[in-house]
Amino acid sequence: MLTSFIEGLLCCLTSKSTNVVVPVETSEPADGFEFVEVKPGRVLRVRHIIPDRPVVEEPTGPGGSVSCKRKITVYRNGQLFIENLGDRSSGELKNYQNGDTEPNSTVEVELTDCVNSASPVNMPEPMSESASAAKDGTSEAGAGGDAPAAAAQTEQSQQPRRRRRKPKRTVVIDCERKISACRGTHADVALFFIHGVGGSLDIWGSQLDFFSRLGYEVIAPDLAGHGASSAPQIAAAYTFYALAEDMRLVFKRYARKRNILIGHSYGVSFCTFLAHEYPEQIHKMVMINGGGPTALEPSLCSIFNLPTCVLHCLSPLLAWSFLKAGFARQGAKEKQLLKDNNAFNVSSFVLRAMMSGQYWPEGDEVYHAELTVPILLIHGMHDKFVPIDEDQRMAEILLMAFLKVLEDGSHMIMMECPDPVNTLLHEFFLWEPAALPLPKKESKTRPETAKTQNDNVKAPTDPAKVRPATAKQASPNCIKEEKSGS
């Protein structure tokens, strides 16, 4: 504590930042680490593991197609109304195809109906059966029909009508997605792991080792100023858009035919950005304690708005607070995990710039509702940074979402409970929607003849009605936006 106070005092006197993170010179490409220069003078450390495996060009499973049809209406008072227009039931999408056995420490939160949960208050309610019958019996009541029906209609006509609000804009999504299981032996699958504020690629150590042994190609970068990446001494280098551009360049460098994004905390926002920018290349996505679908905006009343030298003096207190809030238990094991995984080991300047640069107004509910990629949400029950209500709201907004809650974990769930997290991730990677049965062509022969033929030969199928097994993924042009007048 005394050393930190003296260093902070020198920082204030000399106007220089201490504890600057610089690239590690001892890392070699043979260890699985690479240094990628995304911009001149901006170097990121990336762990890239390509395991030895047999090359299989195409998936062995047939996979399934999901019809993504929904209408998103935004009103001027900020309310959101989502209508799912797809024929496939949501219950079918919420079950893993191979999920017969699940970890005992997980609790599944069922997904509520988006239409009912996100409907605006001022929308007109549907007409009840009695009111509809009264409306249909108007002519009968006027011609001497049932008197109570006429009285009910008169009473209904005297009630004030609700004024239907005009929508600010309407977004229509109509596309088809091909979803298949991602096996470890497929050469066209790449897993991207993105950490959050104060972390590093080392927090994914258990996941990187687990999936690389299964035959997956894994990529995990250090954000600028974190781990062994370069740390520019300008605040503009740590805005959301600057970091998102870094992740976009890393993704383009290592992307395969099918890519899966796994993000934690602040890293979830970068995964969402990539899934929105590259819908055809992103196969699935995982959000670990990512929070709700709200636009990012830095807090005005935050401890991270203090001067850098003051934050440096308070760094031991901040590290202790992170340990208390980030882990369900605070013992010697958790402290060793923080030390070994290089978590929350960033300079005060980088920490302050990261918290102040979280400005992303585009990442609102509509932005997340437009995603058509299957998403797994993992939440630690004891997380003090992200309430469970936010992840539940995210699950309601997303089109295809699975929300899993781990009872024994907190914010750093991938370090506390690596085995349950790895199991959930692997099951999600292997999940694919059930293939729809092929429609049969109706026979035009007489019933007696058709019955005789069906006993020996199956009815042929119409090729025009059969969905191809290698259907293309959703096109980025499948989202249409309409604006109406005020």
280-331 pLDDT, tens digit each: 999 999 999 999 999 999 887 778 778 888 878 877 788 888 888 889 888 8
Write the single-letter amino acid at 155. E
Distance in angstroms (rounded) separating the CA atoms of residues 402 and 311: 38
Q: Which of 51, 98, 361, 40 is nearest to 214 (CA)?
A: 51
Distance in angstroms (rounded) separating the CA atoms of residues 79 and 362: 16
Average pLDDT rounded to a whole number, residues 445-469: 44
pLDDT digit string, tens, across residues 58-81: 555 566 788 788 888 888 777 888
Cβ distance 8 to 319 under 8 Å?
Answer: no
Catalytic residue of the set 222, 383, 410, 426: 383
For residue 356, indicate whether it is catalytic: no
For residue 302, indicate whether it is catalytic: no
Identify the residue with better confidence: 28 or 275: 275
The lowest-confidence range among 176-185, 188-197, 318-327, 432-441 is 432-441
Q: Which of 42, 120, 109, 51 is nearest to 80 (CA)?
A: 120
Sign of CA dihedral 437, 441, 447, 451: negative
For residue 188, indicate whether it is catalytic: no
Q: What is the DSSP letter of 465?
A: G
Please state, as a whole number, how many other Cβ atoms lie within 10 Å of the Cβ of residue 130.
11
pLDDT value of position 18 = 39
Identify the residue with better confidence: 250 or 131: 250
218 token code pair:
């894994």
pLDDT digit string, tens, across residues 379-404: 999 999 999 999 999 999 998 999 99
Catalytic residue of the set 212, 265, 347, 348: 265
What is the distance of C-alpha 64 from the center of its chain?
21
CA angle 324, 415, 97 (to 5 degrees): 125
Write the single-letter amino acid at 21. V
Q: How far apart are the first and last CA of the chain?
A: 59
Catalytic residue of the set 48, 195, 368, 411: 411
pLDDT value of position 240 = 97
Residue 157 has pLDDT above 60, yes or no: no
Supply φ then ψ for residue 323, to 5 degrees: -65, -40
